[in-house]
A = this chain, B = another copy of it.
Amino acid sequence: MIENKPSRTELSDLGEFGLINAIAKNIKLKHSSSIRGIGDDAAVVNNAGRLTIISTDMLLENIHFDLSYIPLKHLGYKAVTVNLSDIYAMNAIPKQILVSLAFSNRFSLEAIEELYEGISLACDVYGIDLIGGDTSSTVHGLIISVTAIGEAEKEDLVYRDGAKETDLICVTGDLGAAFIGLQLLEREKRIFLDNPSIQPDLGGNDYILERQLKPEAQQEIIRILKQIGVKPTSMIDISDGLSSELFHICQQSNVGCTIYEDKIPIDPQTYALAQEFNLDPTVCALSGGEDYELLFTIAISDYEKVRTVMDVSLIGHVNHVSEGKNLISSSGSSVELKAQGWNAFPKE
């Protein structure tokens, strides 16, 4: 039926964000309780003054994960933490999740229980209740859809559109490790497939493997910022890579930015392994994705408070929109930042 339509726009030409824009342009919100809809890490609903923050994500086998190297327990844990990351990115506190699963008869009860062990562990670590979901079958493969629900006072919420000129750009943790972890896992998988008698050589790379297989959401920084009395002007979680997320903040806040290559936090293990793979560590940090760190902007007047916070790097500042989005390389030259985040609809 769809093949007969007179015009056909390929989604690979449009990209994920083009698609989201095409969907969002026809949507008008009807309820005053629908505070914020499509276009941020999570949606916001008002309930008698208190805000409910909701985010949803779908993970598909062989698109988002490969069961030949991620254990089911880790997968369950990761499916939860990547959703919680979206709630924290609103400066809200996640409280509940719903998990929908679909899987083929390749999976036994024990396999599904292993997956739920990881889900339960994440619920315990982050203080979350699993309150519902749906289960069904697939012809092939495993699908996990998680909806996370959080809460916040109205004055605490941080969106993507509040960055102002002269604000400072901060990022938690370090970047690029999850991407390098994936390269390592894929290399060892190829070696194993070519010669099953060779055991994977993953030793000494625990940190980057954990960043890929069992990422954490940044609950601690949300607590600390509140404690030191700093409210970011904008915030987003880094799921698609630093560049892509900076683009979202700049576009929605109508500003430009300048970041400094030598300020981008990269773990030494990531750096060394990137070079082993002939990859530029900065490019891995800018475009690798799956870091689940928080990227946020703060008023320059908050600098003294934030500079003492462990695990936060100041990587640049916000410009006027006319100045564009710039990366000052380690050699001192300025290059235009490109959004090279993961495209959900690759061309074949």
A contact residues vs B (CB 8 Å cutoff): 1-2, 5, 7-12, 14, 16, 19-20, 22-23, 26-27, 29-31, 33-34, 36-38, 42-45, 47-50, 52, 54-58, 60, 62-64, 67-68, 71-72, 95-96, 98, 100, 102, 105-114, 116, 120, 123, 127-140, 143, 145, 147, 149, 151, 344-346, 348
Contact = CB atoms under 8 A, between A and B. Distances in A.
A43 B54 CA distance: 14
30 contacts: A1-B68, A2-B107, A2-B108, A2-B114, A8-B108, A9-B108, A12-B105, A16-B136, A19-B112, A23-B112, A26-B116, A26-B120, A29-B129, A34-B95, A34-B96, A43-B96, A45-B96, A47-B151, A54-B96, A54-B131, A54-B149, A55-B132, A56-B98, A56-B132, A58-B136, A62-B139, A63-B137, A105-B348, A137-B344, A137-B346
A130 B57 contact: no
Copies of the polypeptide in the assembly: 2
Contacts of A344: 135-137
A218 B114 CA distance: 38
Contact of A63 (B11, B52, B112, B139): B139
A133 B38 contact: yes
A7 B58 contact: no
Given A43-B96, A129-B34, A131-B54, A110 B9 contact: yes
Nearest to A113: B22
Given A55-B132, A105-B10, A110 B48 contact: no
B109 A10 contact: yes
Nearest to A143: B143
A133 B344 CA distance: 14
Contacts of A60: 102, 136, 138, 143
A313 B50 CA distance: 40
Contacts of A9: 108-110
A131 B29 contact: yes
Contacts of A130: 27, 37-38
A5 B111 CA distance: 9
Contacts of A127: 30-31
B56 A145 contact: yes
- The 5 A-B residue pairs with the shortest CB-CB distance, nearest first, are A9-B109, A43-B132, A47-B47, A43-B131, A37-B131
A346 B136 CA distance: 10
